Amino acid sequence: MYPVSDAFLQAVKANTRKYYWTGRITAKDGVSYDFGQQDIVKGSGYISCQCCENSEIAIGGVYAAEAGLSLITEIDRYTLLDASLTLGFHLLLADGTYEEVPMGVFFVSEADRHVKAIDLKCYDAMLKFDKGFSAFGTSGNAYDLMTLASADCGVALAQERAEIEAMANGAVTLGIAEDNDIETYRDLLYYVAQVLGGFFAIDREGKLELRKFGASPVLAVEQAYRFSSSISDFVSSYTAISSTNLKTQVAEYYALEHDTGLTMNLGVNPLMQLGTEDARKLICGNILNDVAAINYVPFDTETIGNPALDLGDVLTFRGGQADENKTSVVTSMRVKIGGKQTLKGVGKNPRLTGVKSKNDKNILGLLTSLAGTTEAAKYIITDYTNGSAIALKDGVEKNLVSLAFAASEKAESAQFFAQAIITVADTVPVVKSTAAAGTIHIPGTDAGGEGASDIEVSLPVAYELPGEAAVTFRFVVNGEAVLMHQPAETWQEGRHTALLYWPLLKLTANQQNRVELYAKISGGSGSIGMQGLIATVAGQSLAGAGWDGTVSIEESMKAPVLVQGFLHAGTYQDRFVSGELT
């Protein structure tokens, strides 16, 4: 629920209310047009949104909100495509002041001109995430993937990293399985929301926000405020989830100890396929705990309206056929500008789902893979890109890439390619000096110029050259470092691109292989931005594994110092900041 004052909550449920709507259209060229409620054709304005489908509650929602209105204006409709539209609701309080509630930021997709009015249909920024996703084998935690989508699609995030990483599964490292159906960033956000046990929505400021279904009611809807209502006689609750494991091709079943409710089917989530079996169980267990919070009575009601309500808000109903001890959740909402508000909470009846044993629910997934000569002859690419920025510190070697793959008996070789865009900084300027020699002419003092002389001089001159940093790259194949070939570059401050290649010869068949790339900078610092690094292993008859759950940990410390012939020992302490290592 949007944070409003107590005075607003009192005024919004009074027998009478005084309010008005305002809006602003900002064209792509920066020209803005303000309008009021008198400029909106009566009965034409609305805002509609939802967070899940129309039959039952589900996590992973990435629905776009829609707004429409007919505006009496002379604005040229051709200038309104992709223009932004902001709406505001202003309510008169008991002290005579008006309190504004922002109603969202939308973008014009259709503008149809009539004689005196323009019909506008608009959607919020969720549609910007329909941009094609091409981030290769990106890995990172949920916030890293959210940041990736935010940066590429131009939509700001409503939450900070600490808030997301504090959630269950928020700090878990996720990798995108090579076999996936992610076509757009919106698809990626769907799977991220599943992992976090919630849904995505665009908030009232136009930012991407992750929301979860809760238990604490934000508002009690009295019978006097409802024009009509339909409240179910059952509670929709979930006590189990089903998630398909690509490796085993089994739809795994996770349930609470008292499994008496519905089962939410998550399908195949490509972010949950890499890593160890225990890591997958941990992720699914955390999702189950979030899903278990869903314990709501489905409803459908038409009310006098409270524009401060948001999707995911938990409500209680009082009076009439309502049970005050039960809660409901808003899964869809429609606000009429100058009219009523329709609220709806969907849900499935547990009594109509049928009863199956856990063995029955652990069904085999409908997943098949091609085998034989055709599959063996396929040209396979295992790829990777960094989902978060990489920092290179002076004198410290950093692992940039670690790709695992397997080769069949017909695969004899493969090729490793990498490209890194590195920004070099903090170099030390080089100061040099030399002597400047020349002749100084001293003119004469009299009118005829007599007494002039020339003097040979030599003066010291100091000048500064830009500093340079040396960057060395190192390949490691199956745990063995390549010593004879280590590419190196010497760069001044600025952006530079490194193109790297190493042939992988004489591969061992039917065995996992691993190629790693390290980098070390000396004489400065470096950084690789998000998606600034791409790498691939390509060849015939390969099976890409990406990240397989192996975690490599490096530890470095200063060398002990001899003081007056004695070894000076310090105190070393390991500290694990956050997260869980499995």
Q: In this predicted model, what pLDDT tens digit does every residue of 60-91 receive, in sequence order?
A: 999 999 999 999 988 888 888 889 999 999 99
Nearest to 85 by CA among 66, 72, 111, 104: 104
What backbone phi and psi angles, to 5 degrees, belong to 77?
-65, -25
Nearest to 280 by CA among 257, 255, 247: 247
Q: Does the CA dihedral 94-96-101-103 come out positive or negative?
A: positive
Residues in CB range of 51: below 8 A, 6 or more apart: 61, 63, 199, 201, 211, 311, 312, 331, 332
Note every long-range contact of 50-54, with CB atoms under 8 Å and residues 24 or more positions apart, other chains counting: 50/311, 50/331, 50/332, 50/333, 51/199, 51/201, 51/211, 51/311, 51/312, 51/331, 51/332, 52/199, 52/331, 52/346, 53/346, 54/332, 54/346
pLDDT value at 157 more than 90: yes
pLDDT value at 539 more than 70: yes
Q: Is residue 441 classed as helix, strand or coil in its secondary structure?
A: strand
Is CATH 3.55.50 what the domain over 131-211 is classified as, yes or no?
yes
* More reliable by pLDDT, 385 or 337: 337
Q: pLDDT tier at 568 (50, 70, 90 boundaries)?
A: low
pLDDT at 580: 41
Q: Is residue 126 classed as helix, strand or coil in its secondary structure?
A: helix
pLDDT at 126: 95
Round to whole Å and give the CA distance between 480 and 474.
11
6-127+212-351, which class in CATH? Answer: mainly beta
Round to whole Å and give the CA distance between 105 and 87.
7
Share of the chain above pLDDT 70, in %: 85
Q: In this predicted model, what pLDDT tens digit does every residue of 180-239 receive, in sequence order?
A: 888 899 999 999 999 999 999 999 999 999 999 988 899 888 888 888 989 988 999 999
What backbone phi and psi angles, to 5 degrees, belong to 546?
60, -130
* More reliable by pLDDT, 206 or 274: 206
pLDDT value at 408 more than 80: no
Question: Mean pLDDT of all residues in the chain?
Answer: 84
Round to whole Å and give the CA distance between 224 and 14.
10
Q: Where in the chain is the domain with CATH 2.30.300.10?
A: 6-127+212-351
* More reliable by pLDDT, 378 or 288: 288
Q: In this predicted model, what pLDDT tens digit does every residue of 325-363 receive, in sequence order?
A: 899 999 999 999 988 999 999 998 887 655 444 444 444
List the helix and strand counts (H, then E) for the chain.
7, 38
pLDDT at 554: 55
pLDDT at 366: 40
Residue 124, CB-side half-sphere exposure with 13 Å CA sphere = 27
Average pLDDT over residues 441-455: 72
Q: Is residue 125 within 8 Å of 155, Cβ to Cβ?
A: yes
pLDDT at 45: 92
Q: How do the residues of the chain divide into helix, strand and coil, expressed in percent and rounded to 5?
A: 15, 45, 45
Q: In this predicted model, what pLDDT tens digit does every residue of 454-470 receive, in sequence order?
A: 888 888 888 788 889 99
Work out the angle between the directed axes of helices 185-196 and 277-291 (0-180°, nearest 10). Answer: 80
Q: What's the burial of 160, exposed, middle or buried (CB within 10 Å: 0-12/13-18/19+)?
A: exposed
pLDDT value at 542 more than 80: no
Round to whole Å and give the CA distance between 85 and 106.
5
Alpha-carbon distances, residue 536 vs 99, 338, 403, 415, 479 (angstroms) = 56, 57, 8, 8, 18
Taking residue 91's Cβ as centre, other Cβ atoms within 10 Å add up to 22
Nearest to 288 by CA among 345, 248, 239: 239
Question: What is the CATH topology of the domain spanning 373-427+467-568?
Answer: Jelly Rolls (2.60.120)
Average pLDDT over residues 240-257: 86
DSSP string, 238-307: EEEEEEEETTTTEEEEEE-SS--SEEEEEE--GGGSSS-HHHHHHHHHHHHHHHTT-EE--EEEEES--T
* More reliable by pLDDT, 6 or 555: 6
Q: pLDDT tier at 369 (50, 70, 90 boundaries)?
A: very low
Nearest to 219 by CA among 292, 301, 148, 147: 301
Average pLDDT over residues 277-296: 91
Round to whole Å and give the CA distance between 576 and 572.
13
pLDDT value at 134 more than 90: no
Q: pLDDT tier at 7 (50, 70, 90 boundaries)?
A: very high
pLDDT value at 16 more than 50: yes
Question: How many Å separate Cα 579 from the centre of its chain?
Answer: 19
pLDDT value at 373 more than 60: no
Average pLDDT over residues 261-281: 87
Q: pLDDT tier at 509 (50, 70, 90 boundaries)?
A: confident
Q: Where in the chain is the domain with CATH 2.60.120.760?
A: 373-427+467-568
- The 3-state secondary structure of 166-204, one letter per residue: CCCCCCCCEECCCCCCCCEHHHHHHHHHHHHCCEEEECC
Q: pLDDT tier at 246 (50, 70, 90 boundaries)?
A: confident
pLDDT at 375: 46
Q: Where in the chain is the domain with CATH 3.55.50?
A: 131-211
